[in-house]
Amino acid sequence: MFQTIGHCTLTASKGGEMNKKTITIAVVLVAFVTTAFMLVGFPYFFRIPLESQKLDYDKQEKGKVVLDSNLVVEFRGDPGWVEFDPPIGAREFLEDRESTREEIAWFPWHEGRSWSKVRYSLNPNRKEIFKPETKYTIKFRNGEKISFETITLPKVVDVYKSNMPPRDFGNIATFNSVLLVFNEEIAWQDDYLIIDPPAAVSTDSQTYSDGRWELFVMPEKRWENSTTYTLTIKQGLKDTFGHPMEEDYSLTFTTEPPVSVVEATPEGTSQSIDSVVKIVFDRAPVPKAGESSFVVTPGVEGKMTWEDETTFVWTPAQKLPYSTEYVLAIGGNESWQDPITAHEWKFRTQDPPVSVEIESRSSSPTTLKVIASGGLSSYSYEWSTGETSEFITAKVPAGETRSFSVTVTSGDQTAAAEILVKGPPLPPPPPTPAPVPPAPASAGGMKFVLSFDDSDGSGGVVSGILDVLAAYGAKAIFFPTGSWAHGAGAPYISRMLAEGHMVCNHTRDHANLTFLSEVGIREQILGGAGVGTCNLLRPPYGSHNAFVDSAAASMGYSIYTWTVDPRDWSGTSVSYITSTILSNASPGGIVVLHMHAGNTLIALPAIIEGLQAAGYTLSY
């Protein structure tokens, strides 16, 4: 029994040892498996989760990244290099100091495994490495991409001025506002506005539906003319999200010069008493500036109107007084309106008009007297004779009518008058014809004498007369005045004599011998032409009497007049001259013609032909 029990005890003891070994092995195995799972399987099957990418988004401008954002992103395994598009600055990759890399695993020996986690921090130092309003894409070597857009910073995107063509700031009106357009709404503060040179301005703003924001900078009164201003918006001005401007914005503009006068009338002296003042400006002024600054001295009532936007007109209420000087001025400084450059000018109204008459007998000799009125009561005179006195003596030769005129000046006014004065009538021809050359030629021929007087006119007529006479073989007697024959007519006298014509005496100055003393008669005859070669004297105007005849006879002269007178000296027509001579010609007759009468030259061929056809010999 004892042994049985002991055997049994031994048997039980061996079985327990075996169970312990089994348990130990199982425990070790479980521990190994557990350890192996924990060391290898658990990190693989139970990976540390990846967190979402982290960017520093603006709290107000939602969905956009601030410029100093730290980008945190996690990957399984090592994604390799990081590339930015567009580049940050001048490079595509971040330097080591601008990024950090962190391995995250359950156990250090898991680091670098494909299932381990890598955390990148890009820009941990929070520098402003991003540009505003830019869409960035971050590319990793493993193909991963991350995209984001940066915030908007306030800036001026456009500028223009009111009521004028946009963006032309070289010549802006002094009342123009400057309008600055920002890309977004601004939390405006006047402290950020600087104007140089300083100017008093006010500001206002307006927001548009597309997000743009407009700032109005308005002069409180006006900008100064011809001034260059610099308008600056200082950096640091913030938008409504609190983002500041990165740099100053400056605009330079120049204001236009003051309005100027380009023409002002009337100006100067002798202006009409009905004058209307007209002022033309180089551009349209503010009407009130023109009207309020216009001054006339001495003062005159009048009406102001505008002919057009650049032309100002002032019309006196009544006629201006004579002989009055006016000083006119417009322009000067205006505190509210654009000024007009000061302009001053003068004009003087005309003096009172002058009227004039000539008082005289109608026949010569007579005294001509000026009767002037009006003007300034003091007068100067200028006669057509060259004389300058109030009275002159008019002497007109017998049978002639001459015009005398005078111009009277008083102040700036003039007036003229004219009068015709007749000379005394021609004396009747003597009852007995004057001595004539020898009787008509023998052989049944008839003689008719062509005679020509004066020639104090055109030498061309004299040459023409000589040419016609030569062409027809006719001879004539010439009675030039001595003053012409011994002066300008000397060449013609030589030709007359060379071509067989006679040159005889017609006094020196064409004087009426009946008005002279015996001494005067002798002086006139001795100064005449043909002295010593011809003893014929033709008294001017045909005027002679017994006294003249006696004086002439004492000097060996015979009076030689005419039987036919067509009065060519008075301008009678060609036909009248021709018909008078041909119808009144008679044997032994004498016609008186004049060397200065143009119609005589024209009529002469027909006269000669008619006389020769009638059988006359033209000689002396």
> Cα 241 vs. chain centroid, distance in angstroms?
56
User: What's the CA gap between 43 and 115, in Å, rounded?
Assistant: 8
Q: Which entry of 338, 351, 453, 454 is annotated as an active-site residue? A: 453
DSSP 88-133: BTTBSS--GGGEEEEEE-SSGGGTTSTTSEEEEEESTT----SPTT
Q: Find, among 255, 246, 237, the residue nearest to 193 by Cα.
A: 237
Q: Which is catalytic among the residues 501, 544, 594, 596?
A: 594
Q: Is residue 453 among the annotated active site residues? A: yes
Distance CA 455, CA 504 (A): 13
As a whole number of angstroms, the distance between CA 213 and CA 192 comes to 16
Give the C-alpha separation, 179 to 181, whole Å: 6
The CA-based diameter of the chain, rounded to the nearest angstrom, is 237
Report which secondary-structure segment, H or E, holds 522.
helix 518-526
The DSSP bridge pattern shows strands 446-454 and 590-594 to be parallel
Q: Which amino acid is at 258?
A: P
| Closest CA relative to residue 127, chosen from 104, 155, 97 | 97
CB atoms within 10 A of CB 325: 12
- Nearest residue to 53 via CA among 152, 103, 105, 122: 122
140: tokens are: 């990793």
User: 506, 512, 514, 572: which is closest to 536 by C-alpha?
Assistant: 506
Are 368 and 391 in contact, with CB atoms under 8 Å apart? yes
Question: Cβ–Cβ contacts within 10 Å for residue 578, how many?
Answer: 21
Give backbone dihedrals phi and psi of 524, rounded to 5 degrees, phi first: -65, -40
Six-digit token string for 401: 């009518």
Q: Just list the catalytic residues.
A: 453, 594
